[in-house]
Structure 1
Amino acid sequence: MTLAKIDDAQRRARLGVRHLLSARVTAVEEVVEALVGLHATDPATVFLSACARLEHPSVAEVEAAFYDRRTLVRSLCMRRTMFAVTAGTAPVVRAAAGAAIAAKERQKLLTYLADGVGWDAERLARVEDATLEALRLRGEATAVELTRDVPDLLEQVVVAPGKPYETRQNVSSRIIRVLAADGRLRRGRPLGTWLSTQFRWAPATPWPELDPALGRADLARRWLASYGPGTEADLKWWTGWNLGHTRAALTAAGAVPVELSTGTGYALPDDLDPVDQPPPWAALLPALDSTPMGWQARDWYLPARHRPRLFDTAGNVGPTVWWNGSVVGGWAQRADGGLVWELLDDVGADAEAAIAREADRLASWLGGVRVIPRFRTPLEKELTT
């Protein structure tokens, strides 16, 4: 059987169109759906990723989706990573990845508590019930406020006893984390600005339970629609599934093999025809943006020679500069908030002008606010010194 061939130029064209980089949209929910989810480990990433793709970038609009309309939620799911997803996608990522991760997190918590303070599952359940009741009565609360209502949350565990870095930790943060992973509470507004990593907490109703296999098939279809074609290894890496689950999900999703420049990939059966090349486009994407983190094999859009400067040692991508579907540089902000960037390829005068316009656009809506990535990369640090 002759496989349909999808070359690298076609993949870059799809990336530009489907990831809303060649043409922007008006609704933040549309951005999140187009990418399946936005990385949310670093709170700033969601705002920067969304606003890079919105016709009218607005922090207030992203916040309204999270806290007023509640059309966006944060979920610990693929690769044990925090993602922002739409409320419609949340049950799918929960079934496909989040539920199994939550179960592992709970088991780790029980071991931590048993070793540290001698709690068993029954004791943990009582403290969790008391925490949820306190939250229900307050409506919304910080972790500190909850410890005032539930003193057991102030129990301390000695971490790394006898080591030079020995420390003591309250059990509150880990218990709240597991309750959030279970979907029994959710993050509310941050204590500070949109860059803050400290959140208020609010009660939540767990998402409907879906069959995990059906959830994985659904998630595989969504990934293929947004990131396809991609390889089996790409999907396995992006989801954090094992090989068996990955192959079963591709089959259940109806994926068909296609020929890529590097071997065999997969696409949805109605997604084999070429797409039109979009008009030339430039973009400045933030650290941990979903586009550069969408595939394990990246040579077709990110030359291997650039990776040492654009990624940290744990594989987290830093801020990137794009031209027509390829990563061509990186950017950062100086201490005064000013944007600086460095091109790693010769892209020509037209591309440099387009990139400069994108930098001006980003600087304009940031309004002098400085965003320091949570995971800093060599080029980003170089540009700020």
Structure 2
Amino acid sequence: MGDGVRYIGGDERRARLGLRHRLAPAARAGTPEEVADALVALHGSDPAAVYLAVGARLTDAAGTVAETDRALYGDRTLVRMHGMRHTVFAFPAGLTAVVHASTGLAVAARERASLVKDMAKAGAPDAVWLKETEESALAALGRLGQATASELAEAEPRLRERFVYAAGKPYEGVHTVGTRLLRVLGVEGKVVRGRPLGSWTSSQFRWALAPEHPELPPAEAQAELLRHWLAACGPATEADLKWWTGWRVTDVRRALAAIGARAVSLDEGTGYVLAEDGDPVTGPQEPWAALLPALDPTAMGWQGRDWYLDPELRPALFDYSGNIGPTVWWDGRIVGGWAQRPDGEIVWRILTGEGTGADGAGGIGRDAETAIASEAERLTAWLGTTRVTPRFRTPVEKELGR
């Protein structure tokens, strides 16, 4: 890059990560809302991951479940909804309108068109019938407050209508209108996930009407989302931004221009930070350790991960679909994986360097192992009798969790 363009190396990027992602002990947060604000979005495809991501960053992790329940279902300062890449996240309530307009509208249009097309191919009722069913279901949900899909179908029986999807193909299946329609309504920002049917690890949720929010112009919303994300995760390349948002590269470039993002030089090429974020960032005074859950926002924050993850570790830590499992961190780098055994014990394995490690494999030095063991004890204490199995299993997690 040309003269005057600042270089940000891996050490500074890892320093930013420890501080801005609330992972260094001195940077930890007091509430789930502070964690979500720092990370922009908490992955919610695996319900337990939201709580585990919060607990890893709280000063007092003992109150993780109660405080996260309060934020999600009491105060509703966190909202679980579809977002980037058609994935479920928990967002700060103040960002729901931004996320909906910046990423949800385009996906929602495709999802509705796909549902109408699939129903037409199967000879199911038409779009007019679907619209009437939708309006009736939303009215019923308003009366009920929260409801499961089955409970909602009791109030609006047309949701039980079944149709054959992809008839004659290897992946042929039978769908219900309710299952597909609720998914569409979720992406459209009309409904959100409410309380789970079971504990905080349950993947079965009730549905609720989405909180009202203003309708923003998509380009304005994209610029605002990018501003938040670069504050938390900058610097990032265009490829990182395109991957994380799911936008077209033209949308990414327009949003970068709209916020006046500053170009910087990274080891992998050109990156971007906010215009006001040009000063060097120094890291925490002491190295830090963390045990982060599967799909943690830090581990999944960038497409280019070599600056915090040795490529040789990927096969052990990712599943076949590209979902990362539970990870062990030391001072800004992923160094291993962890799991919870059926008896509740938290076990971990260092996959880089030489030494003994907690279970006899790998190692990165006595200080690092001591700090990691302390984090494992901290996690064990607040999990108590709860058992957590990641929704997406990875090789090292499956081996350790036996």
Q: Shared fold by TM > 0.5?
A: yes
Mapping of 1:160-171 within 5 angstroms?
160-162=166-168, 166-171=172-177
In 1, distance between residues paired with 2:161 and 2:290? 48
* Other-structure match for 1:3: 5
* Other-structure match for 1:271: 277
Deviation of 1:124 after TM superposition, in Å, equals 0.7
Matched, 1:294 2:301: yes
Stretch deviating more after TM superposition (135-144 or 68-77): 135-144
In 1, distance between residues paired with 2:85 and 2:144? 33
Give SS of 2:260's match. Answer: coil
* Other-structure match for 1:362: 379
* Other-structure match for 2:87: 81
The correspondence for 1:93, drawn from 83, 92, 99, is 99
In 2, distance between residues paired with 1:75 and 1:215? 16
Given that 2:82 and 2:88 are in contact with CA atoms closer than 8 Å, whether structure 1 keeps it comes out as yes
Over 3 Å counting, the alpha-carbon distance change for 1:266 and 1:118 in structure 2 is: same
In 2, distance between residues paired with 1:196 and 1:226? 29
Kindly tell me the number of residue pairs found equivalent between the two proteins: 385
Q: Which amino acid aligns with 1:326?
A: R
Deviation of 1:7 after TM superposition, in Å, equals 0.8
CA RMSD of aligned residues (A): 1.4
In 1, distance between residues paired with 2:322 and 2:255? 25
Given that 2:28 and 2:57 are in contact with CA atoms closer than 8 Å, whether structure 1 keeps it comes out as yes
In 1, distance between residues paired with 2:7 and 2:169? 56
Give CA deviations for 1:80-111 in whole Å, capped at 9, x if unaligned.
11111011111111111012111211111111
Over 3 Å counting, the alpha-carbon distance change for 1:85 and 1:308 in structure 2 is: same
Over 3 Å counting, the alpha-carbon distance change for 1:300 and 1:164 in structure 2 is: closer
Give SS of 1:88's match. Answer: helix
Give SS of 2:94's match. Answer: coil
Which 5+ residue runs of structure 2 have no aligned equivalent? 354-363
* Other-structure match for 1:53: 57
Over 3 Å counting, the alpha-carbon distance change for 1:211 and 1:163 in structure 2 is: closer
Which 5+ residue runs of structure 1 have no aligned equivalent? none
Given that 1:117 and 1:155 are in contact with CA atoms closer than 8 Å, whether structure 2 keeps it comes out as no
The correspondence for 1:67, drawn from 52, 73, 83, is 73
> So what's the TM-score if we normalise by structure 1?
0.97
In 2, distance between residues paired with 1:268 and 1:205? 30
* Other-structure match for 1:348: 365
* Other-structure match for 1:312: 319
In 2, distance between residues paired with 1:236 and 1:161? 34
Give SS of 2:382's match. Answer: helix
Give SS of 1:357's match. Answer: helix
Matched, 1:378 2:384: no
Deviation of 1:20 after TM superposition, in Å, equals 0.1
Given that 1:38 and 1:49 are in contact with CA atoms closer than 8 Å, whether structure 2 keeps it comes out as yes
Over 3 Å counting, the alpha-carbon distance change for 1:340 and 1:284 in structure 2 is: same
Deviation of 1:268 after TM superposition, in Å, equals 1.3
The correspondence for 2:343, drawn from 309, 322, 336, is 336
Give SS of 1:257's match. Answer: strand
Deviation of 1:166 after TM superposition, in Å, equals 4.8
Give SS of 2:100's match. Answer: helix
Give CA deviations for 1:278-314 in whole Å, capped at 9, x if unaligned.
0211000000000011001001000100001111121
Q: Which amino acid aligns with 2:17?
A: L
Given that 1:97 and 1:239 are in contact with CA atoms closer than 8 Å, whether structure 2 keeps it comes out as yes
Q: Which amino acid aligns with 2:295?
A: L
In 2, distance between residues paired with 1:300 and 1:104? 35
* Other-structure match for 1:115: 121
Give SS of 1:271's match. Answer: coil
Give CA deviations for 1:7-35 in whole Å, capped at 9, x if unaligned.
10000000000000002111111100100
Matched, 1:247 2:253: yes
In 1, distance between residues paired with 2:303 and 2:170? 37
Percent sequence identity over aligned pairs:
55
Give SS of 1:89's match. Answer: helix
The correspondence for 1:233, drawn from 239, 246, 252, is 239
Q: Which amino acid aligns with 1:63?
A: D
In 2, distance between residues paired with 1:37 and 1:110? 31
Given that 2:85 and 2:245 are in contact with CA atoms closer than 8 Å, whether structure 1 keeps it comes out as yes
Deviation of 1:187 after TM superposition, in Å, equals 1.6
Matched, 1:44 2:61: no
Q: Which amino acid aligns with 1:177?
A: R
Q: Which amino acid aligns with 1:214?
A: E
Over 3 Å counting, the alpha-carbon distance change for 1:354 and 1:236 in structure 2 is: same
Deviation of 1:161 after TM superposition, in Å, equals 3.7
Matched, 1:210 2:227: no
In 1, distance between residues paired with 2:89 and 2:12? 27
Given that 2:100 and 2:188 are in contact with CA atoms closer than 8 Å, whether structure 1 keeps it comes out as no
Q: Which amino acid aligns with 1:14?
A: R
Deviation of 1:203 after TM superposition, in Å, equals 2.4
Deviation of 1:163 after TM superposition, in Å, equals 5.8
Deviation of 1:160 after TM superposition, in Å, equals 4.6
Q: Which amino acid aligns with 1:74?
A: R
In 1, distance between residues paired with 2:81 and 2:171? 31
Matched, 1:25 2:32: no
> So what's the TM-score if we normalise by structure 2?
0.93
Give SS of 1:337's match. Answer: coil
Q: Which amino acid aligns with 1:24?
A: R
Stretch deviating more after TM superposition (109-118 or 220-229): 109-118
The correspondence for 1:262, drawn from 248, 261, 268, is 268
Mapping of 1:195-206 within 5 angstroms?
195-206=201-212
In 1, distance between residues paired with 2:58 and 2:4? 40
In 2, distance between residues paired with 1:97 and 1:128? 22
Deviation of 1:38 after TM superposition, in Å, equals 0.5
Deviation of 1:126 after TM superposition, in Å, equals 0.4
